Structure 1
Amino acid sequence: MSIYTNLPKLFVMLLLMLANASLVLAQDSDEHVAEQAQSNRAPSNSNVYFILQAHKKNYILPLIYTDNFNEQAYQDVPSLSGDEFKDIEAKYQLSVKFPLFNPGFLVDNDSFHFGMTIQSWWQIYADEISKPFRETNYQPEFFYRLPIGWQPFDGNVTLGLGVEHQSNGRSQVISRSWNRIYGEVIYTHGLFKAYFRPWYRLPEDEKESPDDPKGDDNPDIGDYMGHYQLQLQYAVYDVGMEMVIRNNLSTHKGAVELGLSFPLGSGLRGYLQYFTGYGESMIDYDHNQQRIGIGIMLDSDF
Structure 2
Amino acid sequence: MKKNTLLYLSFGSIATTFNAQASDEELQTCLMKSLKTADLTVTVGELKRACNNLLLVAKKAQHNKVESFFKQELKTKNLASAPYVMTPYVMTPHRMNYLLPVSYSDNINKEDYDIVEGWADNFEDIEIKYQLSFRVPLLTERLFTQGDGVAFAFTLQSWWQIYARSISRPFRETNYQPEIFYYTPLSWQPLEGNTAFLLGFEHQSNGNSSSFSRSWNRLYANFVFAKDNYVISFKPWWRIPEGNKVSTAMVPGDDNPDITDYMGNFELSLVYKWDDYDVFFKGRENFKAHKGYVELGVTFPIFERLKGYIQYTNGYGESLIDYNNSQQTIGIGFSLTDYFQD
Q: Give, as a single letter, the amino acid of the residue that structure 1 aligns with 2:157.
A: Q
Map of 1:69 onto structure 2: 108
Does 2:170 match 1:152? no
Map of 1:197 onto structure 2: 235
Within 5 A, what are the aligned runs for 1:279-290? 279-290=317-328
Give, in angstroms, the shift of residue 301 of structure 1: 3.4
Q: Deviations over 1:19-55 (max 9, x none)?
A: xxxxxxxxx642555796996998xx97733210000
Q: Deviations over 1:135-189 (max 9, x none)?
A: 0000000011110111111100101101000000000001000000000100000
Cα distance in 2 for residues equivalent to 1:160 and 1:211:
38
Cα distance in 1 for residues equivalent to 2:78 and 2:282:
32
Map of 2:70 onto structure 1: 30
Q: Give, as a single letter, the amino acid of the residue that structure 1 aligns with 2:226.
A: T
Q: Which one has the largest radius of gyration?
A: 2
Cα distance in 2 for residues equivalent to 1:212 and 1:172:
11
Q: Deviations over 1:221-275 (max 9, x none)?
A: 0000000000011011211111100000101101000001112234321000000
CA 1:208–1:31 in 2, change beyond 3 Å: closer, same or farther?
closer
Does 2:321 match 1:295? no
| Structure 1 counterpart of 2:220, from 182, 185, 208 | 182
Cα distance in 2 for residues equivalent to 1:95 and 1:47:
20
Cα distance in 1 for residues equivalent to 2:239 and 2:334:
33
- Residues 46 and 102, structure 1, Cα contact 8 Å, conserved in 2: no
Cα distance in 2 for residues equivalent to 1:285 and 1:109:
36
Cα distance in 1 for residues equivalent to 2:309 and 2:89:
29
Identity %: 46
Question: TM-score scaled to structure 2, two decimals?
Answer: 0.74
Map of 1:55 onto structure 2: 94
Cα distance in 2 for residues equivalent to 1:109 and 1:169:
35
Map of 2:308 onto structure 1: 270
Cα distance in 2 for residues equivalent to 1:177 and 1:49:
30
Q: Give, as a single letter, the amino acid of the residue that structure 2 aligns with 1:268.
A: L
**Structure 1 gaps, min length 5:** 1-27
CA 1:294–1:249 in 2, change beyond 3 Å: closer, same or farther?
same
| Structure 1 counterpart of 2:265, from 227, 233, 241 | 227
For this pair of structures, how many residues does the alignment match?
Answer: 272
Question: TM-score scaled to structure 1, two decimals?
Answer: 0.84
Between 30-39 and 115-124, report the one with greater CA deviation. 30-39
Does 2:175 match 1:137? yes
**Structure 2 gaps, min length 5:** 1-67
Q: Give, as a single letter, the amino acid of the residue that structure 2 aligns with 1:298.
A: L
- Residues 270 and 297, structure 1, Cα contact 8 Å, conserved in 2: yes
